[in-house]
Amino acid sequence: MSQPISTAAVPQPGYARQVLRPRLLHLGCGAFHRAHQAVYAEELANKHGSDWGYVEVSLSDASGSIAALKQQDLLYSVSDMDAQGWHCRVIGVVCQALSLPDDGLAAVLEALAQPDLAIVTLTITEKGYCHLPASGQLQPDHPAILHDLACPWQPQSAPGLLLAGLRLRRQRSLPAFAVLSCDNMPANGAITRQVLWQLAALQGDREMADWVAQQLACPSSMVDCIVPMVSAQTRSHIRALLGGVDDPAGVACEPFRQWVIEDHFPQGRPAWEKVGAQLVADVRPFEEMKLRMLNGSHSFLAYLGYLAGYVHISDCMQDAALLALTRHLMLHEQAVTLEHCPLPAADYAASLLQRFQNPALQHRTWQIAMDGTQKLPQRMLDPIRVHLVRGSRFDCLALGLAAWMCYVSGNDEQGRPIDVRDPLAADIAARLAKCDSAMSQVQALLQLEQVFGTDLPRNAQFVAVLTHDVQLLQQHGAKACIARLCAKIDRAFSQPGYDVAAGLAD
């Protein structure tokens, strides 16, 4: 059993924890949430006497974080890490922790029906919404959704659980809580609202669907903080910071945190703005900027970097050519597709590259490469569509997408197996099993309509560029392709009067 976390060398909660009320509930008690949203609540309690406590709920508790919280008085630690060192503190804002397998559905539904509860926050990853990434609509044939259509009161999906909790609140004449998505999706609030409404309608509960449409607030938000997976080495370091106390729920992350929130909470909200969050009327400009410039660059580095043999993002940043391509991608292929960039693009790109170079993070390319089919539409495919309409070039985006196609083939450049983690992994493997060329591989993957839609597979320019890059990666390897494209861009930019919008000459 873990020991209670209490060491004089580490900052402790400076407030009376018994005054906390279960006004926030988080679904998906992963490392990111513990390092991000919970820290904002902690700082509000510490600095401003807030009583907004968190109920933590996990659908599976596969990481054991809920069990760990229960063993250590609902306390855990967060360590900010950079090149200068690690700085640890104890978080005490959790006032209840539940897992569906251990505590049962009834207990979780009662937590969702608590009168004090005003907001449910979500970090369930893109695949947790059981939607089609290309359209944003509910995936009606998703196995968990099929179950929830047949058994609304025994839900297996996150949308099904939320809807069951809302249904119980409606029966008890309680107002709907707001549902605040904190996942990396464009219009994440609109997607959340859409899947909940569609699920209620497909369950045949028209009154509930109307109630969701009329009563449920689903504000969007943009979150940013790099939180690597907790390795054995990280856990050992946390143990040392805590004076020898083990903390299975502890997390380590970069010092940077950002949270931009659409300000629409009918039942009230914490004063997040007092601890650095931005409350705005429209999150979309921040959301698009981050999804394309940060997350898109992360995916670009994840697939190319993994194929090139780089284990961590900071390792990728030591490759001068890959660093230069990432900067080019951010400024000349991603920022230029934004309708409005709320920050100066050059300044934002410089800050991202500096964060990527943080050697303490040890953020694995393999971790970022997970669930590519859920991430690529918003991170790479949407900006590619903009370039296709404009007639501008998208060389880095194309190479990154081609690297994904090579990555999901299941073998690296040395023929070693790749542990491909993706909800469509089995489908992808089946499609690629009979492919014997770059062209057949591209054609097979473009048939994933839920990822690529119907427009991109019909675009001859897109298919040709992608096939060309997959061939180059297969023939020459990632490092050679990175160097080749970097040299090509350098030559183009050295030409007098070069027009970035026109792109590169072949």
- pLDDT of 499 higher than 70: no
pLDDT at residue 6 greater than cutoff 70:
no
Residue 165 forms part of a structural domain? no
With cut-offs at 50, 70 and 90, classify the pLDDT of residue 25.
very high
pLDDT over threshold 70, residue 5: no
CATH code, domain with 442: 1.10.1040.10
User: Which long-range contacts link 386-395 to residues 24+ away (Cβ below 8 Å)?
Assistant: 386/337, 387/333, 387/337, 388/459, 388/461, 388/462, 390/501, 392/336, 392/501, 392/502, 392/503, 393/333, 393/502, 393/503, 393/504, 394/333, 394/465, 394/503, 395/333, 395/485, 395/488, 395/489, 395/503, 395/504
Of the candidates 357, 350, 349, the one whose C-alpha atom is nearest the C-alpha of residue 314 is: 357
Q: Does the pLDDT of residue 85 top 60, yes or no?
A: yes
- Based on the domain organization, do 270 and 390 belong to the same domain? no
Same domain as 360, residue 339: yes
Residue ending a domain, choose from 255, 280, 305: 280
Overall number of domains in the chain: 2
User: Per residue in 314-364, pLDDT tens?
Assistant: 999 999 999 999 999 999 999 999 999 999 999 999 999 999 999 999 999
Q: Which residues of 43-67 are buried (b: 16+ CB within 10 A; e: fewer)?
A: bbbbeeebebbbbbbbbebebebbb
Number of residues written out for the chain: 506
- State whether 468 and 346 are in the same domain: yes
pLDDT of 503 higher than 60: no
b/e 194-214 (16+ beta carbons within 10 angstroms → b): bbbbbbbbbbebeebbebbee
Percent of the chain whose predicted confidence (pLDDT) is above 70 = 96
What pLDDT is stored for residue 204 in this prediction? Answer: 95
Do residues 394 and 381 both lie within one domain? yes
- 261 and 290 housed in the same domain: no
Predicted local distance difference test score (pLDDT) of residue 398: 98
* pLDDT score for 83: 80
Mean pLDDT of the chain: 94
**Confidence check: pLDDT of 113 > 70:** yes
User: Band of the pLDDT at 506, cuts 50, 70, 90?
Assistant: very low
- pTM (2 d.p.): 0.91
Which residue reads 């931005």 in tokens?
A: 278
Q: Would residue 7 count as lying in a domain?
A: no
Q: In the structure, what pLDDT confidence band is assigned to residue 496 with cuts at 50, 70 and 90?
A: low
Mean pLDDT within 260-264: 98
Give yes or no: residues 349 and 239 share one domain.
no
**What local confidence, expressed as pLDDT, does residue 41 receive?**
98
Q: Tell me the CATH number at 181.
A: 3.40.50.720
Domain boundary among 280, 308, 323: 280
Q: Look at 178 and 6; give whichever has higher pLDDT.
A: 178
Supply the pLDDT for residue 504: 38
Specify whether 78 is located in the same domain as 222.
yes
H helix count then E strand count, the chain: 24, 11
Write out pLDDT tens, residues 433-466: 999 999 999 999 999 999 999 999 999 999 999 9
The partner residues of 82 in beta bridges, in order of sequence, read 85
8 Å CB contact between 361 and 228: yes
234 and 297 housed in the same domain: no
234 Cβ contact partners less than 8 Å away, ≥ 6 residues apart? 228, 252, 362
- Each residue's pLDDT tens digit, 118-136: 999 999 999 999 999 988 9
Range of the domain at 377: 284-502
Q: Which of 235-249, 405-419, 492-506 has the lowest mean pLDDT?
A: 492-506
